[in-house]
Homo-oligomer: A and B are copies of this chain.
Amino acid sequence: MKVGGQHFRTIWLNPENERLVQLIDQRFLPHRFVIEEVSTVAQMATAIREMHVRGAGLIGASAGYGMYLATIEAAGSGSFDEHVVNAAAQLKATRPTAVNLTWAIEWQLTSIAKGKTAQHKIDLALRTARRIAAEDEEHCRMIGQHGLKLIEQIARTRDGKPVNVLTHCNAGWLAFVDYGSALAPVYAAHDRALPVHVWVDETRPRSQGSKLTAWELGQHGVPHTIIADSAGGHLMQRGAVDLVIVGSDRTTCTGDVANKIGTYLKALAAQDNEVPFYVALPSSSFDWTIRDGSEIPIEERGAEELKRADGWRDGQMLEVSVAPEDSPAANYGFDVTPRRLVTGLITERGVCKADEKSILELFPEHAS
């Protein structure tokens, strides 16, 4: 999507040296637009763990490129296979909840295993990394087209007034390679001149809504308003939300949705106010091995993230202390929204109900 009028993806190869991966270091947004160059698995693991890159699809694509870097490193090491296996373990350990991470690494391991020589393995890993990224982009584009129909439907009842979409966290193009999941339908609508307005949950404690979603919508010219995470229910009670669309870090084959902490509360409010609640996800975010959302591991992050706030001041990122130094804090990254609260899933193959039968009708290759 657009940054200052120029088209960007979130991750790409340095066009002058394809052994280097470039990515937008999202920690500095919206204050500074920083491009980071990554040349080692260790750097990529840090970039994922420390959230220079984040979001289901982008974590997958980054892991894909990370495994490509692993093959380059492996060629210069004593034992190619051992190095690749270790790199896979290192990358897998960075974030526990996003299933795309494992999915991308497994795909790479299968690809790399087919190589006859070190150079062949590197070539295969490069091709797969590109395919993972291209597929992510294409799936998000398709999610946009399918979700667009939902927005068009509502727009017909709004008499030219904007369709109000509420979203939580960032499931925009910054969370993927391009387009995004939850925001792809919004961009598709905006690009077709359908009036659309987004309520942006700030999404504490890392404020991905205020920092990333607001920024990317603003850069692309989409009208939006930042709200506290607590405000969505009030807006729905007042009829100010026509549609909720969120992303997902992992969705079970039965339709339970793990997403950023607080998603469940918005789903409850949507149900209570009869607002449609959609989850947009590429098929790479399904976990076909888990039947119940309660089995999804929920990442707990450090307490300091919650007790402090960071932002821009005097030309630099500064962290300030909000809570008492000696008060403990618990920082859960995700929650699980049970399928009964989900109106539908928007996937690259179309929109379906959040139940096993409907999901497997769209993805019959995963029926066991």
Interface residues of A (CB under 8 A from B): 30-31, 200, 202-205, 207, 210-211, 214-215, 217-218, 224-235, 237, 260-262, 264-266, 268-269, 272, 298, 303, 306-313, 318-324, 326-332, 334-336
Contacts and interface: CB of A to CB of B under 8 A. Distances in A.
A30 B324 contact: yes
20 contacts: A30-B324, A31-B321, A200-B327, A202-B322, A203-B230, A211-B322, A214-B324, A215-B324, A218-B326, A225-B327, A226-B303, A226-B306, A226-B323, A226-B328, A226-B330, A227-B331, A231-B335, A309-B309, A310-B320, A313-B318
Given A204-B202, A218-B324, A298-B234, A329 B226 contact: yes
Given A311-B309, A319-B313, A234 B264 contact: yes
A31 B325 CA distance: 9
B234 A268 contact: no
A276 to B, nearest CB: 17
Nearest to A327: B214
A234 B224 CA distance: 27
B320 A231 contact: no
A245 B203 CA distance: 24
Contacts of A311: 308-309, 320-322
A230 B210 contact: no
A234 B306 CA distance: 16
Copies of this chain in its oligomeric complex: 2
A264 B233 contact: yes
A307 B324 CA distance: 22
Contacts of A261: 228, 230-231, 234
Given A226-B307, A226-B329, A313-B321, 6 more contacts: A210-B307, A228-B261, A232-B265, A234-B264, A265-B266, A265-B268
A322 B228 contact: no
Given A202-B306, A211-B323, A310-B320, A335 B234 contact: yes
- Nearest 10 pairs between A and B by C-beta? A230-B262, A311-B320, A309-B309, A234-B335, A210-B323, A226-B329, A214-B327, A268-B268, A30-B324, A311-B322
A329 B218 contact: no
A218 to B, nearest CB: 5
Contacts of A310: 309, 320, 322
A329 B234 contact: no
A237 to B, nearest CB: 7
Contacts of A207: 322-323
Contact of A318 (B214, B269, B320): B320
A256 to B, nearest CB: 11
Contact of A328 (B225, B303, B319, B332): B225
Nearest to A261: B230
Contacts of A264: 233-234, 237, 269
Contacts of A227: 306, 329-332
Given A311-B308, A324-B30, A230 B265 contact: yes
Contacts of A231: 261-262, 330, 332, 335
Q: Find the residue from A31, A324, A331 having the highest chain B CB count within 10 A.
A: A324
Contact of A30 (B205, B309, B323): B323
A329 B226 CA distance: 4
